[in-house]
Amino acid sequence: MLHVISAELRKLRRPTLFLGTMAAVVFFSGLFSALLFLLIDSPQGNSDRGRVVGREVLGLATGGVQGFASTGGFLGIIALCVFAAQTAQEYTYGTLRNLLIRQPGRLKILIGKLVAMKIFALVMIILAAIIGIVTSVVLAPGAKVNTDLWFTSSGIEAILTSFVNVTISVVGFGIIGMVLGLLLRSPISAISFGVLWLLIVENLLIAVKSSLQNWLPGAQLNAIASGGTLDLAYKNALVVGGIYVGVGAIVASILFVRRDVAN
């Protein structure tokens, strides 16, 4: 298993992928946190979908990680793309046969790949957390936000909770990407389908029938990253999101283990 993880990490550390992804994470997590403070008095809102997050909320113990938590969905989309591309490219490049000749244990390959990509996602999340919190600390005084509670024991607990929630959410998005990669066997198809579904189709469906947000996968994973929302309870999101990810992973694993590698 360690051999598979080590081999997969060699692919993930290539500069264009690693540095490119991390640069995007730095930029967007900085931007998401900065907008919370820079647009604090904007009537159009300062958070996602025009939500207003006021000084009182930002001044709470959880205020320091508001920006980071709202980056969760974006980090999830990145994870979905990376996991999908890294999985599906083995089919398009024909490299899967090389992997299986060197490591015939197909589940080992799959789990090793997943662990390596989780490590990649973890680096991404840690970086996003650091940038989000640092940006918040730097911009809070200018926005007249009180930061006294941010680094108390409750504040630290909020940081850790938020980190765990974002990690669960991002890994969930990543596994969905991996499942799509295994099912569609093409990076372009897997990424297009995943991103279109999560960013457009789900939002349209929820706009037509709001109760659907209790059942759609992207909405669950986004809610987990935020620690639950007013409309979607954390536990509900965890259960429903977990079922989507679990069932998808089982179906894809069975297919991967049984399917002939004929390309």
Partner 1 sequence: MIKTAISVRDLSKKYDNRLAVSHINFEVPLGTVCGFVGPNGSGKTTTMRMLLGLITPTTGQGHILGEPIEHPEKYLSRVGAMIEGPAFYPALSGHENLMVLAKLGGFPIERVQILLEKVGLGDRGKSKYKTYSLGMKQRLGIAAALLPEPKLLMLDEPTNGLDPEGIQEVRALLRDLANEGTTVFVSSHLLSELEIISDYIVMLRKGEIVFAGPIGELMAQQQPTIIAKSLEHSDLQKIVEIAEAAGHHAVIRNDSVHVLAEMDWAPVLNKAAFDAGITLAQLAPQLPNLEETFFEMTGDK
Q: Which is nearer to partner 1, 38 or 100 (CB)?
A: 100
Residue pointed to by tokens 């977990």: 242
**What's the min distance (Å) between Cβ of 185 and partner 1?**
14
**What's the min distance (Å) between Cβ of 88 and partner 1?**
13
Q: Which is nearer to partner 1, 98 or 210 (CB)?
A: 98
Q: Which is nearer to partner 1, 208 or 262 (CB)?
A: 262
**What's the min distance (Å) between Cβ of 251 and partner 1?**
19
Q: Which is nearer to partner 1, 93 or 215 (CB)?
A: 93
Q: Which is nearer to partner 1, 15 or 43 (CB)?
A: 15
**What's the min distance (Å) between Cβ of 14 and partner 1?**
6
Q: Which is nearer to partner 1, 23 or 207 (CB)?
A: 23
Q: Which is nearer to partner 1, 11 or 55 (CB)?
A: 11
DSSP codes joined into one string, the chain: -HHHHHHHHHHHT-HHHHHHHHHHHHHHHHHHHHHHHHTTT-TT-SSGGG----HHHHTSTTGGGHHHHHTHHHHHHHHHHHHHHHHHHHHHSSTHHHHHHH---HHHHHHHHHHHHHHHHHHHHHHHHHHHHHHHHHHTGGGT---TTTTSHHHHHHHHHHHHHHHHHHHHHHHHHHHHHHHH--HHHHHHHHHHIIIIIHHHHHHH-GGGGGT-HHHHHHHHHTT--SSS-HHHHHHHHHHHHHHHHHHHHHHHHHS----
**What's the min distance (Å) between Cβ of 7 and partner 1?**
4
Residue pointed to by tokens 């009182």: 56
Residue pointed to by tokens 């640069």: 23
Q: Which is nearer to partner 1, 49 or 260 (CB)?
A: 260
State how far the alpha carbon of 65 is from the alpha carbons of 19, 58, 116, 140, in Å.
24, 9, 26, 12
**What's the min distance (Å) between Cβ of 175 and partner 1?**
22
Q: Which amino acid is at 165?
A: N
Q: Which string of b and e fits 60-73 if b means at least 16 CB within 10 Å?
A: ebbbbbbbbbbbbb
Binding site for partner 1 (CB under 8 A): 3-4, 6-7, 10-11, 14, 16-17, 89, 93-95, 97-105, 260-262
**What's the min distance (Å) between Cβ of 103 and partner 1?**
5
Return the structure tokens found at 175: 């596994």
**What's the min distance (Å) between Cβ of 155 and partner 1?**
42
